[in-house]
Each structure stands twice: as C-alpha cells, then as structure tokens.
C-alpha cells in the first residue's frame, strides 16, 4: 500500500439591495456565508491559521532554512548537538543542517532512496536505503560503512536505543524486526507476519513498539521477543509512532484509498516496490495484484473485513490499553506527527502541505499551510520546531511568533446565472481587509476582473466587482507579531488572537430563469389521483416556513383510485432558481382555434380530468408552469408543454345484433359494433350466462372504430338459449347486446 514517505462572514445585515425593473431577477437574495471550519478549509490559507470554530487568525512564521535541491525528503532525524539530518530521493543523498541553519551534503548513497534515519548519543548517523536495503553507519564527518545488509529489499524504519547501544530495523518485503549491535551482528527478534514494518518506537519499559502494513497493526515486542498486538486499527499502514510522557502511544495510520473497504491477505507471497511518488505497492509473485484482507496476527491465514476507514487517522493507545481516535481526515493523507511539550499534537499532511494542531481537548486547528505539496517530517530541536517537505525537498522553521500579514482566498462561488451583487460583510477583530473579484470561467484566469479595492464596512458594503457568474473573495489579515498558539501552555490555548476573521457573508440575486417542463404523461383511463393530507399544522403552512424544517414530508405520493372516465395528466417540472411553481391546464379540440382554461392554481404535478366534464372528443392539452408565486408579477416567467392528442370518451360502443340463423344444433349471430370516438379493443360472447369467451372480428384484427363479429355456437339442449355479446373500446367503455334463440 503506502509507505508514503511522499512525502507525497460574519453575520450579515443586508443594508440595501437594489432591484431594477429592467432586469429579470429571482425573488430574494441568496446569502453565501463562510464560517464553519470544513467550509473555510476549502479555501487557500497563506500565513493564516483556521481554528476549530472556523475563525481565521495569523499563523506562526514559516521560514525556509535549507533547500536540498532534491524532490523528496523521505526521512529526517536529529542528534543531541541540534543537527538535523535529511534523507532524500531519488538520488539517495543525505544532508546535514547544523543548529545555525547551514546545510551541506553529508553522504551520497548508491541506492535511490534514504527511507529511514536514526542517531546515537555520540552523533553517529544510521541510514537505511532502498531498494536493495542497506544500513550505513556514518560518522559526523561523513565517513560511511555498511553496518548491515538484510536479505530483504526494503528497510522502512530505524530506532536506536542508547541505553543498550542497540539499533533496531524494520523491513519489507517481509516485515521482520532486526536487533543489531555495534559490530553489525544482527538477530531477528520479531516476525510481524506482515509485508512491512513501517514504524518503530521505544516505551519507558524498554518494550519495542512497531507499526505494520498492510493490516495497520500496532505491536508491542518485549525485550525477550514476545509479540503482543496492542491495536488492530482501521488503517492499512501505521506510518509513524510517538510515545507521550504519560506512556500513551500515538499511531498515525493512513489508507491509500481513504474510506474504501480494507482487506489484506497476510499469507500471500508478495513483492513490495517503491513508486516514484513514494507509495509502497504490493503485488503477488506473478505480478498480479494482491487481494487485501485484514490480518489476525496469531495466524497467517486469519482475516476479517474492515470498513469505514478514513484517509488518515491518529490513534491513541492509553497506558491501560484503551484506545481512541484524536484526529482523522477523509481527504488528506498524513505523513508526519510530533507531540509538543504542551501536549499539542502536530500532524503534517500531503494536502497543500498543511500542518494541523490537535489540542489536549481534541480541538483541531489548521496551523500552517506550507508553500510545498507535502509536509513529510516534523522535528523538535530544543525549543525550535522544524518541518521537512517534499515536492520540493526543503527544511522550514516554525516560529514561536505569528507573521505580520496573512491572506485567505475563498473557493470560487458559482451563482449559476449572471445576476446582481448585494453586500459583503464580515465579523472579526483587528486589521482585516476584504476584496472580491469576478469572472465567467470556473477557474480564475486572466479574463477575470482584478481584485476590488478593500471594503471598509464590516456591517455590509455593496460589492463593486463586475457582474458575472462566478465570484471569489480574499481576506488580508494584518497585525503585530504575537506568541503563536502552539508555543503557549495548554491553559492559554483558548486566548483570542488580536487579529481574527470569524465569518464572511456575501449576498447576491441570481437572474430569474424560466421553469422547465421536461415531460407530460397520461395515465390509463379510469386511474385518478388524490392528494393525501400532510398532517401539518395549518399555522405552519401559512407561515411560509418550509414544513420540512419541522420534520414534515411534503412529497407524499398521491393515492390512486378508480374513477370511471377519468384521464389523469402527470408532469415533470423544475426551476433553476428553486422557485415555487404553480400550473395551469388548457385544452382544445382539433377544430378549436383558441385554448380554453380547464384548471389553474395547481400546486401538484398532476391533475385528474373528470370524464363528465368534457364531451367525447380528441383533445390536446397544454400545461403551463409559472414561478409567479416566488416573483413579482413583472419578473415572473413561465414555460408551457403541449401534449399529443388524447381521447376523452365516456360513451360505450353501439352494438347491433342480426337475426340469428340456425341449422340443426348450430346457431350463428352477427354483431355489428361502432364507436364514435375510440378504437375498439376486445369482443367477447357468452352462452346462457356461462364464461365469457374472446372472439376476433371477421377481418381477424380489432384495430378500428367499426368491426363485425360472427358468433357461432352449438346448442346441445332443446329449449330457449341466450347468446350475450359485449365489446370494449380503448377507454374501457363497454357496449352490450343479446339475442334469444329457441331450439
């Protein structure tokens, strides 16, 4: 799956809103408010933090320290002297950055990628490379020797225990953990039965904590080699581990496919490869894709399904064994985390390189948006905090003071139809400037307008950008530098920043669009529709408030019932402005020049025509949809739909019977049938009240309004007999006749 080292407002008071009769606009303005965190996060934040409640403030400074000139930083670590080491790809270079920010190339490995780094108390660096994994021992002056070369292709994790002078290494294609002494003598202390051991940590009791892939297990390995699963997570990979002072374990889990179902087959022989974007790919020995199923660590054949996984999650395992999730994301892959002295947890992601801060109360803040694509490592060096990035491989310092200026650009709002701008207002404090720009392309480009001059009235000011379909706003926050939230102690995290923006609201009035009627259908003759009561309080219906706000359904299907001669029209209609629609129905016959009103003020999308209301004839109907209920008369629009000819026929066919002719037991009767309006549908006869039997006309096909039927029967008994005949038309009208025959 992945070992992705990839490393990879305000409440608006609408002061004024002009409506000109020369333009056709919808009923009322739409208010676009941006205030909640999930909505604010869709925008672009530069030098701006976004709090759990959506409020924006100035972010901590983010200063470039060193540029490796490489594309990726796969791994990073520090030493006791305050030096930072950066392992890169795809040239396998290791850089050393000293405490003053001066950097240099320390070692250039023969392999493509430096996938893990660790240091000991003496400043010796241990570097794991992939593919064809090797562990190098590198002195502070850059002299390197191969300490150990395992038989496996990848080494994903390293950990040095100064108390025992032992180096631990986690591998892949086969997920085992090696214990390596200073001389390079190695020993396998645990076999995870997983494809990859992706993270290592050491608790206070000297137990080794390991994270795996593809089952996302957190394992505890005792000094004597006993393996115990602490947590079977919903993630596919445990990408990073950290131990809190209180003994809690934080595990960063990731899923390449986000919330997709996770399955991992532990017993299938696999091959692991590292793609150019830093993703671990599993394949079977014959290069087919592995079917993933979740693993049971006690058996290589055990499996269970996992569903509902997030793209990234941070799991916390408490000292008593209980666990919870302190952070997750549906759309961001996280690559790094760091637990600060004030118990704030930082999480670095691959979505705009964003760094989130999770407070002890689990409130979540977007702390910094990096200028790079991914934040691949977070490092604490004394009181200093650093972030390493990929795409480009650079090292940044996260300052203890906020920047003096930051900008936030909202998402593009599609108003659907060119309309009229209203006011823009915001709620906040300090020096906040708001600007707008507009255009008629979905993505801002050179055809868009320039940013407007800053608006000055927080309570609402008329938007002065050109009329267009799309609009966007920008906020610029300015202020004096203050202590950044992440460097405060936990008790002061709730202090309000001097400059902040809590909400922005923009009003606009879309141009009114005519309704659309996409289809009109006619139900079979005799099927009528009746509206069912909603059960809503009449005061609710008269208030103008949508009944759905009160949990009442307004889309109850009508009841169907039989009504002789009824013809029911149903139609599909919509309005792009979501206006309330009402309907009128007109009719005319082929000989009429004008339309005649049949019904108006219809609020449902159906109408049943009483068969007795219109005389028998062939009619054309016109359904007219209007949005006048939601718009002033001068701007209301309508659309009509004309049906194909429809028969209204409530008269039965006329049946004339001939005089019967007899010959012995055989009797023959002719029935002549005519319908004034409709086509005949079916003829049937019955003898002496017996079963009705189908009969075809003389020409063999019932396909016109006039047909002749010959009924021939054999009478077995002497006496009087009754031959009955009935014929129906296409509108379910039935004409009957009978003759009496004596034998």
H or E segment and range at residue 595? none
Q: Each residue of 590-611: pLDDT tens digit?
A: 889 999 999 999 999 999 999 8
Q: Each residue of 229-284: pLDDT tens digit?
A: 999 999 999 999 999 999 999 999 999 753 333 333 323 334 444 544 444 444 44
The residue to which tokens 């009627």 are assigned: 517
Mean pLDDT confidence for 437-444: 97
CA atoms within 13 A on the CB side of 356: 27
The residue to which tokens 């994903």 are assigned: 156
- Statement: residue 698 has pLDDT above 80: yes
Mean pLDDT confidence for 573-594: 93
Mean pLDDT confidence for 398-418: 95
Max Cα separation, the chain? 129
Could you give the CA distance from residue 329 to residue 309 in angstroms, rounded to a whole number? Answer: 10
Domains 30-45+405-510 and 654-742 in one fold: no
- Statement: residue 217 has pLDDT above 90: yes
- For domain 30-45+405-510, give the CATH number: 2.60.120
Distances (CA, A) of 142 to 149, 394, 595, 711: 19, 21, 95, 112
- Statement: residue 34 has pLDDT above 60: yes
- Statement: residue 728 has pLDDT above 80: yes
Could you give the CA distance from residue 474 to residue 35 in angstroms, rounded to a whole number? Answer: 14
Q: Which residues make Cβ contacts (< 8 Å) with residue 456, sequence separation at least 6?
A: none
- Statement: residue 712 has pLDDT above 90: yes
DSSP character string of 459-489 = T-EE--SPP-SEEEEEEEEE----B-GGGS-
Q: How confident is the model at residue 533 (pLDDT cuts 50, 70, 90)?
A: confident
CA atoms within 13 A on the CB side of 436: 26
- Statement: residue 414 has pLDDT above 90: yes
The two tokens of residue 691 are 């079963």
Indicate the DSSP class of residue 577.
T
Q: Each residue of 612-651: pLDDT tens digit?
A: 889 999 999 999 999 999 999 988 999 999 999 998 998 9
428, 435 in Cβ contact below 8 A? Answer: no
* Short-list 24, 161, 77, CA closest to 632: 24
The two tokens of residue 352 are 């705009």
Residue-level pLDDT at 685: 97
Strands (DSSP E) along 292-415, which ranges? Answer: 294-296, 299-304, 312-317, 323-329, 334-339, 345-349, 355-358, 364-368, 374-381, 384-390, 393-402, 405-409, 413-414
User: Among the listed ranges 62-66, 278-282, 316-320, 344-348, which one has the minimum average pLDDT value?
Assistant: 278-282
Cis preceding-peptide flag for 90 (omega within 30 of 0): yes
Q: Which residues make Cβ contacts (< 8 Å) with residue 130, sequence separation at least 6?
A: 111, 112, 113, 115, 153, 154, 155, 156, 274
Distances (CA, A) of 46 to 329, 410, 421, 474: 21, 12, 27, 11
- Statement: residue 288 has pLDDT above 70: no
Burial class (CB in 10 A: 0-12, 13-18, 19+), 414: exposed
The two tokens of residue 393 are 């491989």
* Short-list 438, 487, 635, 468, CA closest to 28: 635
Burial class (CB in 10 A: 0-12, 13-18, 19+), 419: buried
Could you give the CA distance from residue 603 to residue 606 in angstroms, rounded to a whole number? Answer: 9
473, 435 in Cβ contact below 8 A? Answer: yes
Q: Each residue of 366-379: pLDDT tens digit?
A: 999 999 999 999 99
End-to-end CA, the chain = 93
Mean pLDDT confidence for 8-13: 33
Residue 111 dihedral angles phi and psi, to the nearest 5°: -80, 165
The H helix count followed by the E strand count for the chain is 2, 61
Tell which wins on pLDDT, 411 or 538. 411
- What rounded mean pLDDT belongs to the chain? 87
Strands (DSSP E) along 19-131, which ranges? Answer: 30-34, 44-46, 48-50, 56-58, 60-70, 72-78, 84-89, 93-97, 103-108, 113-119, 125-130
Task: State which CATH number among 2.130.10.10, 3.30.930.10, 3.40.1360.10, 2.30.29.30 fits the domain covering 60-402.
Answer: 2.130.10.10
Residue-level pLDDT at 6: 34
Q: How confident is the model at residue 131 (pLDDT cuts 50, 70, 90)?
A: very high
- Statement: residue 304 has pLDDT above 50: no
Q: Each residue of 448-506: pLDDT tens digit?
A: 999 999 999 999 999 999 999 999 999 999 998 777 766 554 444 445 678 999 999 99
Residue-level pLDDT at 418: 85
- Statement: residue 390 has pLDDT above 80: yes
pTM score, two decimals? 0.76
Residue-level pLDDT at 476: 98
Q: Which residues make Cβ contacts (< 8 Å) with residue 313, sequence separation at least 6?
A: 233, 234, 235, 252, 253, 254, 325, 327, 328, 329
* Residue 36 CA to its chain's centroid (Å): 17
The two tokens of residue 387 are 């972030």
What sign has the CA pseudo-torsion 357, 359, 360, 362? negative
The two tokens of residue 623 are 């359904």
Distances (CA, A) of 315 to 38, 244, 253: 21, 13, 7
Mean pLDDT confidence for 350-372: 96
H or E segment and range at residue 538? helix 538-543
Query: Which architecture does CATH list for 654-742?
Result: Sandwich (2.60)
Q: How confident is the model at residue 333 (pLDDT cuts 50, 70, 90)?
A: very high
558, 531 in Cβ contact below 8 A? Answer: yes
Q: How confident is the model at residue 101 (pLDDT cuts 50, 70, 90)?
A: very high
157, 181 in Cβ contact below 8 A? Answer: no
Mean pLDDT confidence for 678-686: 95
- Statement: residue 320 has pLDDT above 80: yes
Mean pLDDT confidence for 25-29: 65
* Short-list 142, 159, 81, CA closest to 108: 142
Burial class (CB in 10 A: 0-12, 13-18, 19+), 125: buried
- Statement: residue 534 has pLDDT above 80: no
743, 662 in Cβ contact below 8 A? Answer: yes
516-648 has CATH 2.60.40.10 classification: yes
User: Among the listed ranges 144-148, 272-276, 682-686, 738-742, which one has the minimum average pLDDT value?
Assistant: 272-276
Percent of the chain with pLDDT over 90: 75
- Domain range list for the chain: 30-45+405-510, 60-402, 516-648, 654-742
Residue-level pLDDT at 535: 62
Cis preceding-peptide flag for 648 (omega within 30 of 0): no
């Amino acid at each position: 799956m992945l070992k992705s080292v990839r490393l990879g407002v305000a409440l608006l008071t609408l002061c004024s809103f002009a409506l000109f009769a020369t333009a056709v606009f919808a009923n009322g303005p739409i208010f676009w408010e941006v205030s909640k965190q999930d909505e604010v996060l869709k925008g672009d934040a530069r030098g701006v933090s976004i709090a759990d409640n959506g409020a924006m403030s100035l972010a901590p400074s983010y200063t470039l320290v060193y540029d490796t000139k490489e594309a990726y930083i796969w791994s990073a670590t520090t030493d006791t002297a305050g030096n930072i080491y950066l392992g890169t790809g795809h040239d396998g270079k290791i850089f050393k950055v000293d405490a003053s920010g001066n950097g240099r190339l320390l070692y250039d490995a023969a392999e493509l990628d430096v996938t893990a780094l660790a240091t000991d108390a003496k400043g010796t660096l241990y570097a794991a490379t992939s593919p064809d994994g090797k562990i190098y021992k590198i002195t502070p002056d850059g002299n390197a020797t191969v300490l150990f070369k395992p038989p496996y292709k990848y080494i994903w994790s390293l950990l040095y225990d100064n108390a025992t002078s032992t180096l631990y290494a986690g591998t892949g294609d086969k997920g085992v953990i090696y214990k390596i002494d200073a001389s390079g003598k190695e020993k396998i202390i645990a076999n995870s039965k997983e494809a990859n051991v992706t993270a290592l940590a050491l608790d206070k009791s000297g137990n080794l904590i390991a994270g795996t892939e593809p089952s996302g297990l957190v394992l505890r390995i005792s000094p004597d080699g006993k393996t115990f699963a602490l947590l079977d997570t919903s993630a596919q990979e445990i990408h990073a581990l950290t131990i809190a002072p209180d003994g809690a374990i934080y595990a960063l889990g990731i899923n390449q496919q986000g919330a997709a179902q996770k399955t991992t087959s532990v017993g299938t022989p696999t091959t692991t490869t590292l793609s150019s974007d830093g993703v671990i790919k599993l394949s079977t020995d014959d290069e087919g894709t592995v079917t993933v199923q979740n693993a049971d660590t006690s058996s290589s054949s055990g499996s269970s399904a996992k569903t509902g996984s997030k793209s990234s999650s941070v799991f916390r395992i408490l000292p008593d064994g209980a666990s919870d999730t302190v952070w997750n994301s549906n759309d961001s892959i996280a690559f790094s985390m760091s637990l600060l002295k004030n118990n704030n947890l930082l999480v670095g992601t691959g979505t705009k390189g964003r760094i989130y801060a999770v407070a002890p109360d689990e409130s979540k803040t977007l702390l910094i948006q990096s200028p790079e694509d991914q934040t691949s490592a977070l490092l604490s060096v004394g009181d200093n905090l650093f972030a390493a990035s990929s795409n480009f491989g650079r090292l940044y310092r996260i300052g203890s003071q906020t920047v003096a200026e930051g900008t936030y650009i909202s998402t593009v709002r599609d108003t659907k139809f060119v309309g009229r701008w209203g006011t823009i207002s915001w709620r906040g404090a300090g020096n906040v400037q708001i600007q707008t720009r507009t255009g008629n392309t979905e993505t801002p480009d050179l055809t868009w307008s320039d940013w407007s001059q800053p608006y000055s009235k927080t309570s609402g000011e008329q938007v002065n950008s050109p009329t267009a379909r799309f609009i966007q706003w920008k906020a610029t926050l300015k202020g004096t530098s203050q202590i950044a939230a992440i460097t405060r102690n936990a008790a002061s995290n709730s202090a309000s920043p001097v400059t902040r923006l809590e909400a922005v609201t923009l009003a606009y009035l879309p141009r009114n669009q005519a309704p659309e009627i996409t289809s009109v259908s006619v139900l079979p003759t005799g099927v009528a529709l009746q509206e069912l009561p909603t059960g809503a309080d009449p005061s609710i219906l008269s208030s103008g408030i949508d009944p759905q706000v009160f949990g009442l359904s307004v889309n109850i299907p009508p009841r169907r019932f039989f009504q002789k001669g009824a013809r029911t029209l149903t139609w599909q209609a919509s309005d792009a402005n979501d206006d309330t629609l009402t309907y009128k129905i007109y009719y005319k016959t082929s000989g009429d020049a004008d339309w005649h009103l049949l019904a108006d003020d219809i609020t449902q999308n159906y109408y049943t025509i009483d068969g007795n209301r219109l005389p028998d004839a062939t009619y054309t109907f016109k359904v007219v949809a209007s949005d006048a209920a939601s718009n002033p008369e001068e701007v209301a629009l309508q659309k009509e739909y004309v049906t194909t000819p429809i028969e209204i026929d409530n008269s039965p066919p006329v049946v004339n019977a001939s005089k019967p002719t007899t010959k012995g037991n055989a009797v023959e009767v002719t029935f002549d049938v005519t319908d004034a309006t409709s086509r005949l549908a079916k003829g049937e006869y019955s003898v002496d009240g017996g079963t009705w039997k189908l009969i075809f006309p003389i020409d063999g096909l019932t396909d016109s309004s006039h047909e002749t039927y010959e009924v021939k029967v054999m009478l077995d008994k002497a006496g009087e007999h009754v031959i009955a005949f009935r014929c129906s038309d296409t509108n379910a009208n039935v004409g009957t006749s009978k003759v009496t025959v004596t034998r």
